[in-house]
Amino acid sequence: MSSSQGHRFDIMALVFCLLALAKPVNVIKLSPFLPHSPSLSPSGFPILVEQDSQDTSLQFDFYRESCPHAESIVRSAMARILNHNNNATAQLLRLQFHDCFIQGCDASVLLDEGNGNNNQSTEKDAIPNSTLKGFDFIDAIKEELEASCSGIVSCSDTLVLATRDAIVLAGGPFYPLLTGRRDSNRSYFAVAMAEIPPPDANISETIRLFSLRGFSARETVSLFGGHNIGKIGCEFIRPRLHNFHGTGRPDPTIPADFLDEMSFICSNNGSTSPNRAPSPVRSRSLVESAVGSSSVSSGSVFGKYYYDSVLRGRGLLFADQQLMAHDETADLVRAYASDDGTTFRIDFARAMVKMSNLGVLTGSQGQIRINCSRLVSSN
């Protein structure tokens, strides 16, 4: 793995240099889709990534003078973490999503209660019952960054960089990231409760909540492809299996064989041990081996499998299957399922860039946390 990954990252470094030379522009051209396996088309795909004009104070390689190794520290730490934690990519993707959706990518999701957080409940508490994971990965990476350059690299940059690198290492598309985000000085419990798209949202609600953050239907459908990795807790699936919307029956859109399959996997109701963690369902069986294997990923983890499944009525969450309940999103699902995954990967990369730039704090706003779970006290 290391040599092929290393090669890939070398090329990325080159892309970064070219991008830095090309400044100032707010439309950049790059070829992030380096082949992950011989079976994928090796053609570099030009892609336009539009950077929001509001984010002009983010820069490419913001830490080039203050902490020149910051990005490579994150990258190698992430490679080490993934060797031991197959699930890290999915966990970080979810963590970033929850951070960026609530008042922007400002690491507010990482804050613990107390520690000067103004006596408020935190996003961590609000988000569907503390099912978020991956905080320890960010802490470990931040500790390494602190050892190299104390108080320089923000937790919010650490999170988006770590997530991007985890996606690439899992066979997903590379996307360039601007840096220079700063960390919030508070967490936003109430917003988190109201504006995180829930797993049982219908399609109108999903589209509405994503559009509140500026995402088009197309971007929304591409981001849902992130559900292709990782596992989904049965507590999010059971409501579809037994008493769907109070009907006393399963969700009628679930095909019978798939209903049997999910019911079997989620049949432990946990009555004997209420504190036990929910049993996970694999969103696809190949994910583990693809992510966990130390050879170059097949790339299929970030391929079209998710859209094929949804097309066949086998979306795990209600919100997944709802993509077929609306003409525009259903057309997009069909489009993503219709090629080798290339269209999805391009759109997903673009949408991740956009997500990573949501509502960032820059310049003298916010702070640089040392320990990502606690505020730096103001005095």
Ligand X SMILES: *[C@@H]1O[C@H](CO)[C@@H](O)[C@H](O)[C@H]1NC(C)=O
User: Which residues are known to be catalytic?
Assistant: 98
CB closer to ligand X out of 7 and 249: 249
CB closer to ligand X out of 38 and 363: 363
Token pair 């790339």 in the structure block, residue:
299
Q: Which residues fall within 8 angstroms of residue 72, CB to CB, at 6 or more apart?
A: none
Distance (Å) of CA 134 to CA 55, 138, 174: 27, 7, 20
Residue type, 371: N
Kindly indicate which of the ranges 2-10, 32-40, 201-209, 326-334 contains the residues binding ligand X, using the contact rule CB under 6 A: 201-209
CB closer to ligand X out of 10 and 143: 143
185 binds ligand X (CB under 6 A): yes
Query: Considering CB under 6 A, how many residues would be counted as binding ligand X?
Result: 23
220 binds ligand X (CB under 6 A): no
Q: How far is the CB of 293 from ligand X (least distance, A)?
A: 14
279 binds ligand X (CB under 6 A): no
Instruction: Compute the distance between CA of residue 119 and CA of residue 98 in angstroms, rounded to an integer.
Output: 21
281 binds ligand X (CB under 6 A): no
By the 10 Å C-beta count (0-12 exposed, 13-18 middle, 19+ buried), 199 is classed as buried
CB closer to ligand X out of 86 and 343: 86
Q: List binders of ligand X among 308-347 (CB under 6 A).
A: none
86 binds ligand X (CB under 6 A): yes
Kindly indicate which of the ranges 63-71, 163-171, 199-207, 299-307 contains the residues binding ligand X, using the contact rule CB under 6 A: 199-207
Task: Report how many helices (DSSP H) and strands (DSSP E) the chain contains, helices first.
Answer: 16, 6
378 binds ligand X (CB under 6 A): yes
Q: Compute how many other C-beta atoms are within 10 angstroms of the C-beta atom of residue 265.
A: 14
Q: Per residue, what are the HEC states of 126-152?
A: HHHHHCCCCHHHHHHHHHHHHHHCCCC
Q: How far is the CB of 371 from ligand X (least distance, A)?
A: 4
Selected from 87, 158, 222, 329, the binder of ligand X by CB under 6 A is 87
Kindly indicate which of the ranges 4-12, 189-197, 304-312, 371-379 contains the residues binding ligand X, using the contact rule CB under 6 A: 371-379
Q: How far is the CB of 336 from ligand X (least distance, A)?
A: 23
Q: How far is the CB of 298 from ligand X (least distance, A)?
A: 19
Residue 88, strand partner residues: none
Binding mask 234-263 for ligand X (x = CB under 6 A): -x------x---------------------
Residue type, 244: F
Instruction: Compute the distance between CA of residue 264 and CA of residue 230 in angstroms, rounded to an integer.
Output: 19
Whether residue 24 is preceded by a cis peptide bond, meaning omega within 30 degrees of 0, is yes
CB closer to ligand X out of 218 and 374: 374
Token pair 């988190």 in the structure block, residue:
192
Angle at 366 between CA 361 and CA 370, to 5 degrees: 115
280 binds ligand X (CB under 6 A): yes
Q: List binders of ligand X among 109-138 (CB under 6 A).
A: 112, 115, 119, 129
Token pair 């090309």 in the structure block, residue:
22
Token pair 């559900």 in the structure block, residue:
227
Binding mask 140-169 for ligand X (x = CB under 6 A): ---x--------------------------
Q: Are 311 and 333 in contact (CB under 8 A)?
A: yes
CB closer to ligand X out of 49 and 254: 254
111 DSSP 8-state letter: P
Q: Are 332 and 324 in contact (CB under 8 A)?
A: no
Kindly indicate which of the ranges 101-109, 172-180, 307-315, 370-378 contains the residues binding ligand X, using the contact rule CB under 6 A: 370-378
Q: List binders of ligand X among 45-64 (CB under 6 A).
A: none
Where does residue 313 fall: left (phi above 0), alpha (psi -120 to 50 degrees), or beta otherwise? left
Q: Under the rule (CB under 6 A), what is the footprint of ligand X?
A: 85-87, 112, 115, 119, 129, 143, 185, 202, 204-205, 235, 242, 267, 269, 280, 365-366, 371, 373-374, 378
